[in-house]
Structure 1
Amino acid sequence: MSDIRLLIVDDDPFIRESLKMILELDPEITVEGVCTNGEEALQFVQKHGGINVVLMDIRMPVCDGVEGTRRIKAYNPGIAVIILTTFDDDEYIIEALRNGAGGYLLKNVAPDRIIDGIKTVARGNVLIHPDIAKKLTVFLKPSDKTPNAKKSLAEYGLTVSEQQIVEKIADGLSNKEIARQLHLSEGTVKNYITDILSKLVLRDRTQIAIFYLKL
């Protein structure tokens, strides 16, 4: 049985079926179903247990990807959602991430990039392409009166080590990569992240990344 049980959500039947055919070629991915909007997606995950990743178009009738993400994450925070779109829309990206999306991909990227992105988010990592991270940083650019990120993180009670881990998460690194760069065990990194989430009153790694980019 594959590790990733995927739901594809897109109002374009050609894209739905094309993605299904491509993604099912990977032995680690099982496409459990396809839906045409966010409301259908919520109903599908409620009816079919075991879905752990949703690949979600951002602009759809009835219920778009931003609202669909919010509803699915409210129902089951453990389901990872990846926003997939042809639209380069900053506000949609921000809102989807705020609603709990674990990443963002453009539909015109190569199929192997989509597969890699799905696996990255399924492992609990944040999928934010460097170019998109730069755009988010500009979009969330603070005023001149806002203190620098390190000072702000310290004001929230984060230790120097915790601040370093927040920065690495915002860069899209996995726990394993963070552990290697900071010469820590993966278990120690996980413990740090648990403490960071508690101190910042956040839900997951995606929110940590957004929090840091805001600063």
Structure 2
Amino acid sequence: MAIRYPNGKKYVPTTTNSAVKPASISFSNRGKTLEDELNESNEYYNSRGLAVIHKKPVPIQIVNVRYPARSAAVITEAYFKTASTTDYNGVWQGKYVDFEAKETKNKTSFPLQNIHDHQVEHMSQVHEQGGIAFMIIRFSMLDRYFIIPFEQFHEKWTRMLTGGRKSMTLAEIEDMSVEIQPGYHPRLDYLRALPGIVQETTGERIERQES
């Protein structure tokens, strides 16, 4: 079943597109989005009892459905019922995990306009309640992945709100985040970064489980 806009066109999550793909980029993960990679990683974690984390469903109101065949249904008109919060949430070692995942084709910075106010507010509430909130950012042209703890991200968000720059530079992200290298199983082992985030935020030590 496909979810489509009222004009019938398929809904595709937007990404920034301010750079041209270089010929030297690795083709090992060609065609996969960050969402694909995270969904595969989460399936791996769940199958091995390491964590239960899923992508949140998009809250939509279905208006019209077309049936091109008896066994097929296509949603041709639908509306977002409420503003979505973050992309993923779940439980890891008894702790609530909540994060937003974004990718950009920029090679030197990440535009903060890619994040919405209500998403930042949601992560702030999770953080205040003792949950683990963070960002995962993929620089698709560089094939680099970063996990940014909410506290560090919020500093740059506040800087923008008070008249500062409207992006985080790659150098800033390198300094305040944990970079993860893509692998095979799981594709993105982001759980490896969580013990360090918890210890830095609360002082609690958590032994890392092997994937």
Q: TM-score, normalised by structure 2?
A: 0.35
More helix, by proportion:
1
Larger Rg computed on CA atoms:
2
The TM-score normalised by the length of structure 1 is 0.34
| Structure with a larger share of its residues in strand | 2
Structure showing greater relative contact order (alpha-carbon pairs closer than 8 Å, 6 or more residues apart): 2
